[in-house]
Chains A and B, each alone.
Chain A
Amino acid sequence: MWSILQKDLRLELRTKEALSGLVVLVVLILLTFTFALDPEGATAAGPAVLWVTLIFAGLLSVQRAFLIERENGSWYGLLLCPVDRGAIFIAKMVGNIIVLAVAQTVLVVLLMLFFGIAPPPALVAFLLANALGLIGFSALATLFAAISVRLRAREMLLPLLVLPLLVPVIICAVEASRILLTGGSATSAGVWLRVLATFDVIITVTGWLIFEQLVLE
């Protein structure tokens, strides 16, 4: 697993293809929201903008993890590796998390600047909410990206597959961010974080176990 992750990250660091595109995309979606929203109400919409931006930008980028393997014709080589197929899933998922985490950091900083949001007092809990939301999204999106890359109309199909099942992440991450960004304490956001963490565990474990079924030929 580590070597797959290592090679993906090295590839990304050398080309910076996914990351540069993703960061610019995040900035552009954020700008679009800024223009579209009423400046008065923009601060209240902050948490919603944060997660909608991340999810849509993320949906466009997670398929890359599998696309590069197919384009380079290395997918079968990867499958022939004497490793558990679940490890391929975890490696691709962690790779997506790392790339998206960079974009998310840029996003959060810019959001606070553009929308005039003060850094939350419960900073650790806010970071935790972001991390848990990101893990949940990446687990689900990576799993279904393995399906969508192999079908026609993949750009259309991935959001269709992911968005309905992502409802818990959207609700819990937005609510937790809202509570924490408006100065709430970590305990008041606790219930949302617990549901998020449960989602992360269930989807990651399911993905790890079920991924085998998606790569059988």
Chain B
Amino acid sequence: MPIHSRIAALADRVLPPATVLAMLAALWAVFLYAPNERMQGPVQRIFYFHVNAAWSAFIGFAVAAGASALFLWRGRASYDRLAQAAVEVGMLFCTMVLVTGPIWARPIWGTWWTWDPRLTMTMILWTIYAVYLVLRSMGRDDPQIARYAAVLAVVGLLDVPLIMVSVRLWRGMHPSVLASREGPGLADPRMVMALLVAFLTFDLLFLWLLRLRYEGLRLRDELRDLDALSAERSGSAAGASGLSEALRGGGLGVHA
């Protein structure tokens, strides 16, 4: 058994229970262990989710960009699957960031949304990777789609610093609603603890979801190859494609 499939098998065994345990621990730490923040009250607790979701989203996008670059360079299908899985999972967390942010901002800042550089940046990142997924679904039948998507991810990666600079400059030129934006006031060591536990939980969840999506995409590709193979051998085609139809209908959920 090659080393990477041994790691994969281990991950499949360890990640689900570890994630569930960490989630329970994080819920306890965030809601029961950590004290109320003095100024903001219980609302501040959303930050344990918000900040860590942001981290997971950025890790996801970074993995996607790296895997896309590797795919263009080496052309291995596994890099392409990793990139797509990372974008999907990253989008999930990025959406979470964009939902939890306003929920916190409304009572604290008095507004759902401001065009603060960090908010603007997150919004733009979300749109870039939303387009990535649209591109993938629109070009599903195109054999070149993996390469197009990888080009988008790589150009996007190179563009991100430029977007950051211009968004910062742009906000600097306009009166800002808020003088400064403070992170969660982690004055209490218990808060730091809760943040760390939540951080670990989000990373485990990220890895698990990534693993699931990757496996799903791998099965999809395998199925496609089987289909192609069975179409080639027209004699036995009926049996083989019947098999893949059955697999598909069997609710494997891989034909997303």
Give chain A's interface residues, CB within 8 Å of chain B. 140, 143-144, 147, 150-153, 157, 160-161, 163-165, 167-168, 171-172, 175, 191-192, 195, 198-199, 202-203, 206, 210, 213-214, 216-217
Contacts and interface: CB of A to CB of B under 8 A. Distances in A.
B169 interface: yes
Contacts of B154: 206, 210
A172 B170 CA distance: 8
B144 interface: yes
A140 B131 CA distance: 15
B139 to A, nearest CB: 5
Range of interface residues on B (Cβ < 8 Å)? 20 to 34
6 contacts: A151-B135, A152-B138, A165-B155, A165-B163, A202-B162, A210-B151
B127 A202 contact: no
B23 interface: no
A214 B151 contact: yes
A138 to B, nearest CB: 15
Nearest to B148: A147
Contact of B138 (A157, A165, A206): A157
A213 B147 contact: yes
Contact of A161 (B72, B135, B150, B173): B135
B167 to A, nearest CB: 7
Contacts of A217: 144
Contact of A213 (B72, B138, B145, B158): B72
A207 B192 CA distance: 45
Given A161-B152, A195-B169, A202 B163 contact: no
Contact of A165 (B156, B165, B173): B156
Interface in B141-197: 142, 144-145, 147-148, 150-152, 154-156, 158-159, 162-163, 165-167, 169-170, 173
Given A151-B142, A167-B166, A195-B166, A175 B173 contact: yes
B134 interface: yes
Contact of A160 (B134, B156, B173): B134
B106 to A, nearest CB: 26
A210 B72 contact: yes
Contacts of A160: 131, 134-135
Contacts of B170: 171, 175
A66 to B, nearest CB: 14
Given A164-B131, A168-B166, A175-B173, A151 B138 contact: yes
B154 to A, nearest CB: 7
A164 B124 contact: yes
Contacts of A171: 166-167, 169-170
A151 B147 contact: no
Contact of B158 (A157, A175, A206): A206
A161 B127 CA distance: 10
B212 to A, nearest CB: 27
B131 A213 contact: no
A206 B158 CA distance: 9
Nearest to A147: B148
